[in-house]
Structure 1
Amino acid sequence: MASMRRPSLLILSALALGPLHGYAVIKEVSRLSADQVRLAAGTLYAALDRLSDEGLVEVDREETVDGRLRRYYRLTGPGATALAAEAEQMRRDAQMVTQRLRGAGPAGAPSPA
């Protein structure tokens, strides 16, 4: 399985605690990324459509608020599995990098064997 793009990872992470509507997903992604990732509405909904097509998220419910339709999305079982697998792969990668850096000498040069 290919690595997940960061926006997808953050969207799935935002939904991990429960269903959210689009604007709430945008705000949570911004919070989770320490404001490094700011999704535009069009980008979010394109990603949600793709994640839905992949079976990772689904519509939880719809409600009308101030005359506008608000759609809530939730993480599916396969979405939670994919998110957990990605987190585990990231953990292993970070561990490998940390181990390699510990073995590096000055200026990142490998230490003599």
Structure 2
Amino acid sequence: MTPISLGLDTFGDVSLGPDGQTQPMDRVLREVMDQATLADEIGIDFIGLGEHHRPDFAISAPEIVLAAIAGRTQKIKLGTAVTVLSTDDPVRVFQRFSTLNALSNGRAEPI
């Protein structure tokens, strides 16, 4: 029987804090990293971060956030939920993910 794989994905949605104010982007990014660390600790298999360039999403450079997550985790696979190739050089996207794959000991999975 094939085991079930569980994963998470996020764009780093910017939400309101307890005071009713929009949370700062840096706080949202740290929370995403904390969530990924916890996911790794409890055995979640995959985390995907989507690239978005809007004020209501904090992740505009998923490879950088994934690299930070790679340094804090051991087993969780690291991938994208969205990569906007129409506004980027596909060769550079490949190179960035190849670097992430090397830094994470083979855990990078661009989608």
Please report the TM-score for the alignment, with normalisation by the length of structure 2.
0.28
Which has the larger Rg? 1
Larger proportion of helix = 1
